[in-house]
Amino acid sequence: MRLFLFCMLCSLSACSWAAPAHVRAIGHGMPDVDLDNAIYEVPVKPGVSYQDLIDSLKSISEGMNFVNPANFPIGEHMKLRGQDPQGVKEVRTFCNLSMGTEIILDHPEFLVFAPCRLAIYEKPDANGKRQLFLGLDRPTHDLKNIKQPTARAQASAQQLEDALIQLMEKARRGDF
């Protein structure tokens, strides 16, 4: 009985030391992915300007075989309506059909989530200073809205998400 209780205590303790099951570690100084959240957000590194970020996104995405079919300068539209956007507010779309085709072939209704979107925005940091961020609407989370997604669609969504996070990781540093 004592051995049983000891084993139970050890197994419970071991569970408390393990990483939460709802988080996926990315590494490279990037935040972990909260698997329960549709949004993956990363701060842009200090010293990387908005224009550096845009140039980096363009260069890296093209090198990764992504196209950027549309940009939505939401902040500019807010200004035209007399509203202060409080910094950069925009959405840029990215598409790589060699990665996403399987999802759309198996589940055409997934098109409501296409193309993939990255948001660029500023919001106050802990000191109230505006900080530039990149945010992603995660394809794997979107796929949760499809009833019984195929294994092929799940793999494709993960590949697409991983590539977009890689794009974000490089762009937030201002890489080319």
> What is the pTM (predicted TM-score) of this model?
0.85
Is pLDDT above 50 for 35?
A: yes
pLDDT, tens only, 36-93: 999 999 999 999 999 999 999 999 999 999 999 999 999 999 999 999 999 999 999 9
The residue ranges of DSSP E strands in the chain, in sequence order, are 23-24, 33-34, 39-43, 71-72, 89-94, 116-124, 130-137
Comparing 11 with 142, the larger pLDDT belongs to 142
Q: Rounding to the nearest 10 degrees, give the CA dihedral for residues 27, 29, 33, 38.
A: -140
> Considering Cα of 73, then 76, then 77, then 78, what sign does the dihedral take?
positive
Q: What is the pLDDT of residue 54?
A: 98
Q: Where is pLDDT greater, at 12 or 120?
A: 120
